[in-house]
Structure 1
Amino acid sequence: MTSRKFVLAAVIAVATALALPALAQDATVSPQPSNNCAPTDKIDGSTAAQAQQKLEAAGYTDITGLNKGCDNVWHAQARANGNPVNVMVAPDGSVNQETN
């Protein structure tokens, strides 16, 4: 392999290694919280898909950044009547717009 082909192969390998994790992530769906919760936190079994369904049923669109906190509250960014808002889905299933 010539040095030019070797450099090109190395660049492609590095670019692929950097791009694959980003492609594997889905910005709209996040897994259960991981190591930043206290050992005493009891994480419920609610899923991102369930939280998204509740937000959509409440009339929110363009839901992104769906993340679950250690308190079992789902947080996301969405649109309400075309305007960007921060929203949350509480453990009891209620949907609320967050205020700043």
Structure 2
Amino acid sequence: MKRQLFLVAATALLFAGSAGAQGQPAKDGPNNNAVNSPGQNNSNAPVAGRNSFTEGQAKAKIEEAGYTNVTALKKDDNGVWRGKANKGSASSDVSVDFQGNVNSVK
């Protein structure tokens, strides 16, 4: 009898805990997209963090964003790849952060 009472109480606590967790809304953050489209940034400035992109992958990200003649790529102390590239006839400094955001400074 005590064992059955214990099982009923434990089951009730389990369901009460999971029901409470379901009532909490998802965190609302800026540009918190479920799926990012290619060429879409979630930041207008490079975000510092551990960057696992290789130089070739960083160059490909920049080229996917519409840049050509990507040169002088170097990873800085914040984990951001920085270099120079052309878009149309304009040349600018470009960067790729660990999230894949491509930004430029003209």
Give TM class, smaller chain: 0.5 to 0.7
Are 2:55 and 1:52 aligned?
Answer: no
CA 92–43 in structure 1, closer or farther in 2 if over 3 Å, else same:
closer
Q: Give 1:73's aligned residue.
A: 80
| SS of structure 2 residue aligned to 1:75 | strand
CA 95–87 in structure 1, closer or farther in 2 if over 3 Å, else same:
same
| C-alpha distance in structure 2 between counterparts of 1:59 and 1:70, whole Å | 26
TM-score (norm. length: structure 1): 0.53
Q: Quote the sequence identity (%).
A: 34
The two structures, once aligned, show a CA RMSD in angstroms of 1.5
| C-alpha distance in structure 1 between counterparts of 2:51 and 2:85, whole Å | 23
Q: Which has the higher contact order (CA 8 A, sep 6+)?
A: 2
Please say which structure displays the higher CA radius of gyration: 2
Q: CA deviation at 1:43?
A: 4.7
Contact persistence 2:80–2:96 (CA under 8 A): yes
Structure 1: unaligned runs, 5 residues or longer: 1-41
Question: How does 1:1-100 map onto structure 2 within 5 Å?
Answer: 43-99=50-106
Contact persistence 1:43–1:70 (CA under 8 A): no
Q: CA deviation at 1:98?
A: 2.2
Structure 2: unaligned runs, 5 residues or longer: 1-48
The number of aligned residues is 58
| SS of structure 1 residue aligned to 2:79 | coil
TM-score (norm. length: structure 2): 0.50
Question: CA deviation digits over 1:34-77, x for unaligned, max 9?
Answer: xxxxxxxx854321011000000000000100000111100010
